[in-house]
Amino acid sequence: MKYVVKATCYWENRYYKKGEAVDFPSAVTPPEHFELVNKQEVVVEQPKVEAAEKPKQDEPKAKMTKAKAKAKKNG
């Protein structure tokens, strides 16, 4: 049976990390911090990154350019 470790632990002479997927025989009953899952439910989540999003560092540069243009005009 497939389980996912909910909390890092040491059980049955082995160290288990949180989020690790493990497989135990059906005769074994692991502690409560192992969550039973189906094989299809074990999914590794990837961080979502939007390509259209630009860093907001461009805004201060635009303001600085306007400030320099104003300074040249006045001075």
More confident residue, 2 or 72: 2
Structure tokens at 13: 């002479």
Question: What is the Rg, in whole angstroms, of the alpha carbon atoms belonging to the chain?
Answer: 27
In tens, the pLDDT along 14-60 reads: 999 999 999 998 888 899 999 998 655 545 566 666 666 565 655 56
**String of b and e for 21-53 (b: at least 16 CB within 10 Å)?**
eeeeeeeeebeeebeeeeeeeeeeeeeeeeeee
pTM above 0.75, yes or no: no
